Amino acid sequence: MPGHPTAPPGPRPVETDEASGTIVLRTPASCYVLRLDRTAGTAWNVHWGAPLPLADAAALPVWADHDDSFAGRGDGVEEYPVEGGARFGVPALAVRFADGSSPLEPRAEGIRITDGNHVTVSFRDRARPLAWELHYRVPATGDVIERWTEIVHTGDVTDEPVLLLQYASAHWPLPQRAHWRLSSVHGSWSAEHRLGRSELAFGETTLTSRRGHTGHHANPWAMLDTGSADEERGEVWATALATSASWRLTAQRTASGRAGIMAAEGHEGVEISLAPGRRHTTPVSAATYSPDGFGGVSHAFHAYVRRHVLPHGEETRPVLYNSWEATSFEVDEDNQTDLARRAAALGVELFVVDDGWFAGRDDDRAGLGDWTPHARRFPRGLRPLADEVHRLGMAFGVWVEPEMVNADSDLYRARPDWVLHLPDRRATELRHQLVLDFSRPEVTDWAYGWLRELVDGCAVDFLKWDFNRSFTEAGAHGGGPDARRVHIEHARGLYRVLDRLRADFPHLRVESCAGGGGRADLGILARTDQVWTSDNTDAVDRLTLQHGFSQVYPASVMASWVTDSPNPLTGRRTPPAFRFHTAMAGVLGIGGDLARWTAEETEEATRLVALYKDIRAVVQHGRQYRLLAPGQGPLCAVQYVAADARETVVLIWRPSTSAWSAHAPLRLCGLDPEARYRDEDTGAEWSGATLAAHGLPLPGLPPGDCASALVRLRRSSPAED
């Protein structure tokens, strides 16, 4: 536009050197180099790290020239190692042919580039009817590279199926280094996303979920560094897998110092029978390299999720109220209407009715599967409540658990064969419920039908989509050699239902929940708008949960509630401001019993909701900096900076005074050093340079445990000379 400088052109996403077969994938901060070797029938990784000139990348040798008959020549450097030949690492592709043989002998077919940013490298077995394509894509903006693989049975109808034993999305080879450290999250129900960093062991380290869903105990991402990186400095390599099914990430470290990450859908024993003419496409594995530490990796993933994963990443999420902790299963039209009026008075924008609204649902032992309004509690149906919520100026949402059924339900009595089961085994009930087989089209058609009727007939704007138990007795309907593929096909059925619903109702927004944070991944985020981080709403525990969650996922998808004190799960007492400040670090929700709040609590909550609305654009769409990690000192602090650096928000918590000592000023990040920033509450002004070099003087915190503060700084003028 006239009067505005033109942004400098970014790097060309793909460059090639035909003579050497070298392909260079570029992002602003990284360079990924692979080389097609037609003689060896494979592709080698040459470099992944800081940018290199094309000429240098084409001239670099492949580190695969050692002469060791006990190690594979390509171990650690092959882009997509198959089982066969002198390969002794984890295979990306392993099969079993009809005659029982398994080795593959690849032949490189060629390279195809489409749209300027999508590279396809093709292979086939030299004698057997199997081909595979490695796909690489560089999204238009950001520092993330996407990879996936397509595997095709190329035989005719008279050929036998090929059994896929392993079918990874990608192998990400890393450079040779003396030391490697692995970062990942671990946990359990109500204790998800606990960040851990430890030296990567020699051999193979596997992170996995065998549960049929993403899981609470690990999450499908991993980061590797050389042991010296911190939040702002050091090289870090990371990958995340876009699947909500069972999954497996294997980090490998060789004796020579090579490392790599194999990213795969499914877990061991989940096999796929590939018939002639059929194609299997893996989920996307997204990866990034940053020279700017763990914070740099997070910035790349946050931007990627908002721009390229979420259906509506540009939207600002509303303030939500959920009725579960106020009414549990005792929901009815009267108490929900009362809560809705109280929530609207606080400034809430989305009112969600939780469990208990449907037929037979007087406790958790019955009703799942019978998705019509409870006749006694909602004799007029849900529409009058929805209309009242809309009249109050809020959107209307409901809790659903479409993938589950109680044995005490009309659905189960009519269709017991729809659950995951094995004919000669008793079905295991967990939480008094069973899992419906979403790999079956008749089941997903049923789910889509009643969900469409619910959303349309009851004017629903928002679904909290829950999933409250893992798979047991999981075999595909009809059995067969790949009966366990339900561990991946169930999630694909879920995706089809969500995709159909969102196409029919563009206004509909969805929150992913699985007993808390058991389904948080790039696959589900491509079809939902936010995730329920954990059933643990304790504001102190949440600091640790949210720290781990933020390593890959942005604040705009992290739902976080303010609930009552003492906390219903932990019994911990915390003041309202501390609870609000913790929840304001993501998408603010309220889940307390508003009918019991005092006038003082209601007044403070109203003020804090209004404050959140003032800062949420920065929190949800700005760049996040983890200034002080929870548990590593007396304070925890996080900062958000607007894209234009005009505003910044700093949240500070002191969970306990037991180890309290005077703390240095907080050195802020991402500000314009030449500008001055004014504290919105105190009027104090500081230059961006001072706030970065010296730091923000700590605001006074209230006395005692669980104290917190929120600081808003807005650019006021250019800095003085």
Residues 348 and 448 in one domain: yes
Query: Domain span at residue 525?
Result: 320-535
Residues 275 and 328 in one domain: no
Point out the catalytic residue in the list 75, 466, 521, 529: 466
Among 70-79, 153-162, 598-607, 632-641, the minimum mean pLDDT is found in 70-79
Question: For the range 440-443, what are the long-range contacts, defined as Cβ-Cβ under 8 Å and sequence gap of 24 or more?
Answer: 440/477, 440/493, 441/493, 442/418, 443/418, 443/493
Q: Domain holding 305: CATH number?
A: 2.70.98.60
Quote the pLDDT of residue 721.
Answer: 39
Residues 446 and 474 in one domain: yes
Q: Report if residue 257 sits inside a domain.
A: yes
Q: Report if residue 138 sits inside a domain.
A: yes
pLDDT in tens, 86-109: 888 899 999 999 999 999 999 999
Q: Which residues make Cβ contacts (< 8 Å) with residue 203, sequence separation at least 6?
A: 252, 253
Residue 156 predicted with pLDDT over 60: yes
Task: Quote the CA–CA distance of 533 and 631 in Å, as a whole number.
Answer: 19
Residues 186 and 141 in one domain: yes
Task: Quote the CA–CA distance of 497 and 443 in Å, as a whole number.
Answer: 10
Q: Which residues make Cβ contacts (< 8 Å) with residue 352, sequence separation at least 6?
A: 320, 321, 322, 323, 397, 398, 399, 462, 464
pLDDT in tens, 620-676: 999 999 999 999 899 999 999 999 999 999 999 999 987 656 788 999 999 999 999
Quote the pLDDT of residue 672.
Answer: 97
Q: Which residues make Cβ contacts (< 8 Å) with residue 134, sequence separation at least 6?
A: 43, 79, 80, 120, 121, 122, 123, 147, 149, 170
Task: Please say which residue of 535, 552, 585 terminates a domain.
Answer: 535
Please state, rounded to an integer, the average pLDDT across all residues of the chain: 95
Contact between 172 and 250 (Cβ < 8 Å): no
Quote the pLDDT of residue 118.
Answer: 98
Average pLDDT over every residue of 535-561: 98
Q: Report if residue 513 sits inside a domain.
A: yes
Residue 108 corresponds to which tokens in the numbers above? 């490189």
Q: 70 versus 241: which is more confidently predicted?
A: 241
Among 72-76, 355-359, 440-444, the minimum mean pLDDT is found in 72-76
Task: Please say which residue of 309, 330, 356 terminates a domain.
Answer: 309
Split at pLDDT 50, 70, 90, the class of 199 is very high
Point out the catalytic residue in the list 535, 538, 541, 672: 535
Q: What is the DSSP letter of 485?
A: G
Q: Is 319 exposed, middle or buried (0-12, 13-18, 19+ CB in 10 A)?
A: buried
The yes-or-no answer on residue 644 being catalytic is: no
Task: Quote the CA–CA distance of 539 and 12 in Å, as a whole number.
Answer: 45
Residue 376 predicted with pLDDT over 70: yes
The yes-or-no answer on residue 115 being catalytic is: no
Size of the chain in residues: 721
Residue 720 predicted with pLDDT over 70: no
Q: Report if residue 609 sits inside a domain.
A: no
What is the bridge-based pairing of β-strands 395-400 and 350-353?
Answer: parallel
Residues 286 and 389 in one domain: no
- H or E segment at 44? strand 42-49
Residues 667 and 531 in one domain: no
pLDDT in tens, 299-341: 999 999 999 999 999 999 999 999 999 999 999 999 999 999 9
Q: Domain holding 346: CATH number?
A: 3.20.20.70
Residues 328 and 305 in one domain: no
Task: Quote the CA–CA distance of 178 and 228 in Å, as a whole number.
Answer: 12
Q: Report if residue 591 sits inside a domain.
A: no
Task: Please say which residue of 500, 535, 570 terminates a domain.
Answer: 535
Residues 665 and 703 in one domain: yes
Split at pLDDT 50, 70, 90, the class of 426 is confident
Q: What's the total number of domains in the chain?
A: 3
Residues 260 and 343 in one domain: no
Split at pLDDT 50, 70, 90, the class of 3 is very low
